[in-house]
């Protein structure tokens, strides 16, 4: 390797730096939402959000944020990771991180009627996010943007940027021990339009690559669709295994590997 090549391909070349810095005091979009576990805290159930800053391109890795729901002996992920499974009478503690996140949504103006057990109600939501100290209650008028160096924090929504709430996915609820809250249905015409758009985007990508991973589809929709409401609905459809695996789709979907093929 020549000295010139080393200078342009080296570790310390600024053009090779990845995006850095905290996901704090930024505008961004929730690209993925799922219920699962986290190796860092193996005895808890979490909601994991995949976040993207405004201005990031599709090659930028999503910021993963983990929000506690509760102990695994009370809450477990559903098989499709869209919701938590729990027994009748069990309630989520109002001080866990996901409870604080939901409260921050409501404080920012998100309608309570759009909140569902299926965490995909969050996919497509664009908002301003701040790291907030856990010593500041989320329902306090002083909580916005407050940070405490060295103390426990949580990433919350402090402003909704797309005024309309995300439209709930038009999918049947997964089977759980407790019936889930029914999502709000989208208007048929809008849903059909989003479905056609989502199919077109996937087929276009498949024509380029021949194969796609399900986990990448919401981000592909986010990058490919300009209309906000259509994009939100398409992102939810693209994260739904039942929709992807329907016989109506012009591709094959292997749920085990999470792979689509032309």
Q: What is the pLDDT of residues 145-169, one digit of tens each?
A: 444 444 678 899 999 987 544 444 4
pLDDT at 19: 41
pLDDT at 86: 93
pLDDT at 245: 85
C-beta pairs of 141-149 under 8 Å, 24+ apart in sequence: 143/104, 145/25, 147/24
Q: CA nearest 164: which of 218, 216, 233, 97?
A: 233
Q: What is the mean pLDDT of residues 28-38?
A: 92
The rounded mean pLDDT for the chain is 78
36, exposed or middle or buried, with CB in 10 Å at 0-12, 13-18, 19+? middle
pLDDT(187) > 80: no
Query: Half-sphere exposure of residue 104, counting CA atoms within 13 Å on the CB side?
Result: 31
> Between the CA of residue 236 and those of 20, 32, 109, 167, 241, what are the distances in Å?
28, 9, 21, 9, 10
Task: Identify the three-state secondary structure at position 223.
Answer: helix
pTM for this entry: 0.64
Whole-angstrom Cα distance, residue 232 to residue 195?
A: 11
- Kindly list the domain boundaries of the chain, sorted by start residue: 26-160, 188-261
Q: What is the pLDDT of residues 82-137, one digit of tens each?
A: 999 999 999 999 889 999 999 999 999 998 888 999 999 999 899 999 988 776 55
Contact 214, 241 (CB under 8 A): yes
Whole-angstrom Cα distance, residue 36 to residue 104?
A: 22
Q: What is the pLDDT of residues 198-233, one digit of tens each?
A: 888 888 888 888 888 887 888 788 778 888 788 888
């Amino acid at each position: 390797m020549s000295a010139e090549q080393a200078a342009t391909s080296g570790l310390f070349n600024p053009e090779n730096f990845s995006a850095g810095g905290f996901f704090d005091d930024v505008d961004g979009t929730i690209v993925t939402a799922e219920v699962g576990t986290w190796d860092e805290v193996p005895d808890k159930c979490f909601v994991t959000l995949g976040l993207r800053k405004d201005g990031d391109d599709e090659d930028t890795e999503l910021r993963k944020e983990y929000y506690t729901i509760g102990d695994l002996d009370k809450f477990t992920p559903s098989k499709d990771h869209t919701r938590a499974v729990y027994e009748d009478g069990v309630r989520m503690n109002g001080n866990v991180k996901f409870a604080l996140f939901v409260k921050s949504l409501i404080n920012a103006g998100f309608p309570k009627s759009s909140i569902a057990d299926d965490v995909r109600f969050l996919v497509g939501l664009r908002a301003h996010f701040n790291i907030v100290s856990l010593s500041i209650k989320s329902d306090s008028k002083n909580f916005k943007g407050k940070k405490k160096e060295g103390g426990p924090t949580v990433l919350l929504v402090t402003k909704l940027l797309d005024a309309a709430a995300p439209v709930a996915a038009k999918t049947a609820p997964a089977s759980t021990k407790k019936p889930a809250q029914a999502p709000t249905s989208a208007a048929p015409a809008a849903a059909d339009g989003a479905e056609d758009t989502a199919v077109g985007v996937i087929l276009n990508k498949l024509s380029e690559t021949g194969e796609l991973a399900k986990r990448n589809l919401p981000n592909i929709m986010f990058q490919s669709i300009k209309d906000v409401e259509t994009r939100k609905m398409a992102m939810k459809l693209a994260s739904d295994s039942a929709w992807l695996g329907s016989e109506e789709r012009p591709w094959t979907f292997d749920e085990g590997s999470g792979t689509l093929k032309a």
